[in-house]
Amino acid sequence: MRNEAIISVVDNDESVRMALDSLLRSSGYTVLTYAGAHEFLFSKGPGITDCLISDIQMPDMDGIQMYELLASMGIHIPVIFISGNPDALRHPNANTMKPIAFLPKPFPTDTLIACIETAINRGTGVR
């Protein structure tokens, strides 16, 4: 059920985090926001997240590196990658990944919600 789903947003841009937090809460989701990969990794987020929305380009650790680290730890969360840089959407490791979507910023609200619903319906693996 949508209002039981926990969506984690990882983006170093505070305005993006705030906008997504507001949008997703108004759509009935529980939302957790994180300013970067390390903040997410060292929180309760990996163990309770039903869908992860992550920027690709972030300082220290990018979204794809974070996703690969989670997978190496046996944590499989459906992910939607977002980026303001179209070139980042063609990340060299993207071919080995199975994200729900790569969305360029700005993206239509209905597209994001449809991707989240796909992620929730797909469910998660071992967390």
Q: 40: helix, coil or strand?
A: helix
Q: Which residues contact 14 (CB under 8 A, 6 or more apart)?
A: 35
pLDDT at 3 (0 to 100): 59
Neighbours of 115 (CB within 10 A): 22
Q: How confident is the model at residue 53 (pLDDT cuts 50, 70, 90)?
A: very high
Residues 66-88, buried b or exposed e (16+ Cβ, 10 A)?
bbeebbeeebebbbbbbbeeeeb
Q: What is the pLDDT of residues 106-118, one digit of tens each?
A: 999 999 999 999 9
Which tokens go with 38? 């390390």
CATH of span 2-122: 3.40.50.2300
Q: Where are the domains of the chain?
A: 2-122
Distance, in Å, from the CA atom of 24 to the CA atom of 31, rounded to the nearest integer, reads: 7
Arithmetic mean of pLDDT, 50-71: 93
